[in-house]
Amino acid sequence: MELIRGIHNIRSRHKKCVLTIGNFDGVHLGHSAILTRVKALAKRYGCPAVVMIFEPQPREFFAPDTAPGRIGRLRDKLALLNGQGIDYVLCMPFNPKLQQLTAQAFCQHILLDGLSVKHLVVGDDFRFGCDRQGDFDYLQGFGRHHEFDVENTPSVLNGHHERVSSTVIRRALESGDVAAAAMNMGHSVMLSGRVVHGQQLGRKLGFPTANVHLKGVKSALSGVYAVTFLVGGVSHNGVANIGIRPTVQGKTPILEVHLLDFKGDLYDQYVQVTFCQFIRAERKMAGLSELEKQIQCDKEEAIRFFANQ
């Protein structure tokens, strides 16, 4: 799979494609159904299967303080899309220039001039263009005029006969139901990133941690979890906290993982953390002594969880 950063990097091999557009946060079962359809059409036409995403996501651009947390980071999304067999991902920077495009300009400059779309697959509630002027009906009309087809995406229901969506998954994560989130996603809940140097506070308390910065991205995950930690192709058990660390006046979200069965230097290595079981919500402790005791309790809870697997 090739990542295309911006419409200015479109080349002839990317054009005359079957396209779908969306956030694809979590790349869940509903997304998988869309991607399966896109790939089938691309095979029929003998052309590339392309996914267009936005960075930041539109709601993060318009209302960063109230935008929902992400199920996965951009790196995780791209890895999952690659696993789905997509040919190209076009990552469009969502900025004032893109925001100000009219629906007609978006269709003309991006879909037609940029990608020469042969077939477009989007949700029938898809809105686009300045002030969200464009909708599914507009796309169908534009497609008819310029000889490409537009179809809506299929709905996928979970075991509770509820439509699978990123909103449903976030709701499950907010309630600590990792299993329900994973069921709707069709894969484990995970985050990946590079291990960075921290304040060494965990080490001082007797619980050294591997720290993964979230780079300002708000996560739908929060609290303490039993996790597995994949590094160098080897999986280790651990207990993780994802949040701002209120006890030590933290302000920037970070993922901290204490490994139960590993000692060594992990700095600068890329790792994948899979969230297996919610343990508790993040909260402010009275001080470091209480924090140390709570971390020990969290560790013991994680050990019991893995012992029962």
DSSP per residue, 57-101: -HHHHH-TTTSPPBSS-HHHHHHHHHHTT-SEEEEEE-SHHHHT-
CA distance linking residue 155 with residue 254, whole number of Å: 34
Q: Please, what is the end-to-end C-alpha distance for the chain in angstroms?
A: 35
Q: Which helix (H) or strand (E) holds 182?
A: helix 178-185
CA distance linking residue 289 with residue 23, whole number of Å: 43
Q: Is the pTM of this model over 0.85?
A: yes
CA distance linking residue 19 with residue 114, whole number of Å: 12
Tens-binned pLDDT, residue by residue, of the chain (309 aa): 999 999 999 999 999 999 999 999 999 999 999 999 999 999 999 999 999 999 999 999 999 989 999 999 999 999 999 999 999 999 999 999 999 999 999 999 999 999 999 999 998 778 888 878 889 999 999 999 999 999 998 789 888 889 999 999 999 999 999 999 999 999 999 999 999 876 655 454 446 788 998 887 899 999 999 999 999 899 999 999 999 876 665 668 889 999 998 777 888 899 999 999 999 999 887 778 888 899 899 999 999 999 998
**Cβ contact 10:25 at 8 Å:** no
Q: For residue 266, how many other CB atoms are within 10 A of its CB?
A: 21
Which string of DSSP letters, residue by residue, matches 237-296? EEEEEEE--GGGT--S-EEEEEESS--S--TT-EEEEEEEEEEE-----SSHHHHHHHHH
- State the pLDDT at residue 305: 97
- State the pLDDT at residue 61: 93
CA distance linking residue 145 with residue 148, whole number of Å: 8
- State the pLDDT at residue 205: 47
Q: Which helix (H) or strand (E) holds 183?
A: helix 178-185
In order of their start, the domains of the chain are 2-152 (3.40.50.620), 189-307 (2.40.30.30)
- State the pLDDT at residue 198: 66
**Cβ contact 87:50 at 8 Å:** yes
- State the pLDDT at residue 284: 82
- State the pLDDT at residue 279: 98
